[in-house]
Amino acid sequence: MSTRSLTRHNRWDIFIHWFNAVLWLFLTATGLALIDNPAVNPLGQRWPDLWRGILGGGGNLLVVHEVAGVVWVLGFVAYLACNRRGAAFFLREVFRVSPARDIPWLLKKPVQMTLGEAGLRWLGQDPTLPPQGFYNMGQKAFAQAAVAGGVGLALSGAAMLASHLILGPGAQLLVSWSILVHYLCAGLVFAGLLVHVYMAAVAREERPGLFSMFTGTVPEDYARHHHRLWFEEVAGGPSRKN
Amino acid sequence: MKTQLAMLVDSSKCIDCKACMLSCKVANAVPDGAWRNWIKPGAAQGRLHFQPGGCMHCDTPTCVQACPTGATFKDPADGTVKIDRSLCIGCGNCIPACPYGARYRHPELKVADKCDFCAGRRAQGLQPACVDTCPTKARVFGNIADPESEAGRLYRENQSRLVRVVNARTDTKPNMFYLAATAPLDWPVEARMPSAMGLMAGATPVLRGLVGLTGLGVLAMLGRQLVAGGGRGSEESKEDAHVD
């Protein structure tokens, strides 16, 4: 029974995940390179110099970043148009938070991941984690940040793009603040991205989750342990373990 | 030899004919309602006095500090403050950051614009249009680091009599020098960094700290994974073996 697979992601989900991953990293890299001012440059002078050298100047870099940004938004438009139900399911699951279950999970999980179950016992906590649904609270928190940050990036990016294409001087204040919003959204999502990539690609316990982003399916026992509530929903009734 | 292009102005020679303003507008196709240079009226020793000006290509340009992308920059090759139009997104941060109001947003190009000491004319061996056209030769343009040039000679010989028109709170070290005396003196405003840009500068170390802390958290998890050999993952597979 443990070899049975459960479907977790359809083809569109897998497409948008990797599409977003590639473009997000590229846009972060080129976006950071567009910052060339020591007061607001988090990486230092070498990063903008490197990219402007590769692309033959800041003007080219700006065009490349803008084109990639438009492609990124169009990819999401296509995803929403072709997979409306999948997107609605994703958003519903991501924003459905049960504080009684999810807050203890979110507090305990980082302790478990760094100090282990012994660390939780040492802190006087029950080492078992509350059961989680289709997404665990960590995934939900990152997805919420990615959705909110993505909307912020797209809107502020559109304002900046419009600024030097169509907008008049009255929009200067909007554009000046859009730069700040763009920067903060990217920075916050990037901090979450570090944890996301570690959990998915490096931590062993989530390995089936990574594979499911290629195959679309997870083994049943992985689903039972990591997404108990979802497992019970799709497998019909409580699992035999309880 | 370091190059610093600059303008030396004997404002007592200015007759307020505005030929410099018009020739600049024509030479640089400056749009309606905008000017790249100016003549400000004032009074010196009880007499009417006129002060020609324009972008002062400052040594510590606050407009450059306000530009997030580096589209506005001080070119070390000739000491001028330049605008890379292809990199400017028209955010307008630089406009209130200039104490002299030397910048405007070009309504058609939708980017910041200002005096560039007529870069196009200079490339053809000509003087800036305002200098060329001035009937009284009140404006002298050149490399003040070159003692052979007229600008360099005036700069050197008048060291004790050079006047820089600055706002006391934001002295940007302008490269527009007035000879002996000029008026008016009190018109430059305090350079203003736009609030969004100031917040971005404040947020930069916070974001860097946040990403750094997250990175440390990831390293802590990786450390545990390496030390405990998979941690909970292996424990779970054991449990699975019992269950199934």
Query: Using an 8 Å Cβ cutoff, are B104 and B114 in contact?
Result: yes
**Gap from B195 CA to chain A (nearest CA, Å):** 8
The tens digit of pLDDT for each residue in B30-39 reads 999 999 999 9
Query: Scanning the structure block, which residue is given the tokens 């072709």?
Result: A82
Q: Which residue has the higher pLDDT, A121 or B40?
A: B40
List the structure tokens of A28.
């972060």
Question: Please, is A223 exposed, middle or buried when counting C-beta atoms within 10 Å of its C-beta (0-12, 13-18, 19+)?
Answer: buried
Question: Please, is A111 exposed, middle or buried when counting C-beta atoms within 10 Å of its C-beta (0-12, 13-18, 19+)?
Answer: middle
Distance CA A161, CA A181 (A): 14
Q: Is A34 on the interface with B (CB under 8 A)?
A: yes
Q: Is A158 on the interface with B (CB under 8 A)?
A: no
Mean pLDDT of B167-179: 95
Q: Where are the alpha helices (DSSP H) in B29-177?
A: 62-66, 94-97, 119-123, 129-133, 150-157
B89 closest CB neighbour out of A163, A168, A202:
A163
The interface residues of chain B toward chain A in range 70-99, judged by CB-CB distance below 8 A, are 70-71, 73, 84-93, 95
The tens digit of pLDDT for each residue in B116-145 reads 999 999 999 999 999 999 999 999 999 999
Inform me whether the pLDDT recorded for A151 exceeds 90. Answer: yes
User: What number is the ipTM of this complex?
Assistant: 0.87
Q: Write down the pLDDT at residue A242.
A: 37
Please indicate whether, in this complex, the C-beta atoms of A116 and B222 are within 8 angstroms of each other: no
Q: Is A74 on the interface with B (CB under 8 A)?
A: no
Q: Write down the pLDDT at residue B79.
A: 96
Instruction: Write the CB contacts of B80 (distance below 8 Å, at least 6 apart in sequence).
Output: B5, B57, B74, B116, B117, B119
Q: Is B189 on the interface with A (CB under 8 A)?
A: no
**Gap from A150 CA to chain B (nearest CA, Å):** 17
Sign of the dihedral through C-alpha A158, A162, A164, A167: negative
Distance of alpha carbon A68 from the chain centroid:
18
Cis bond upstream, residue B184 (ω within 30): yes
Residue B234's H or E segment, with its range, is: helix B232-243
Inform me whether the pLDDT recorded for A167 exceeds 70. Answer: yes
Inform me whether the pLDDT recorded for B230 exceeds 90. Answer: no
Q: Write down the pLDDT at residue A201.
A: 85
B232 closest CB neighbour out of A60, A112, A207:
A112
Q: Is B219 on the interface with A (CB under 8 A)?
A: no
The tens digit of pLDDT for each residue in A112-142 reads 888 888 888 888 888 888 888 888 898 999 9
User: Closest Cα to residue A34, out of A190, A170, A186?
Assistant: A186
Q: Write down the pLDDT at residue A127.
A: 84
All domains of chain A in start order, with CATH: 5-95+131-235 (1.20.950.20)
Query: Using an 8 Å Cβ cutoff, are B49 and B15 in contact?
Result: no
Inform me whether the pLDDT recorded for B244 exceeds 50. Answer: no
Q: Write down the pLDDT at residue A5.
A: 86
Distance CA B225, CA B227 (A): 6
B233 closest CB neighbour out of A39, A183, A204:
A204
Please indicate whether, in this complex, the C-beta atoms of A203 and B233 are within 8 angstroms of each other: yes
Q: Write down the pLDDT at residue B236.
A: 43
Strand partners, B141: B7
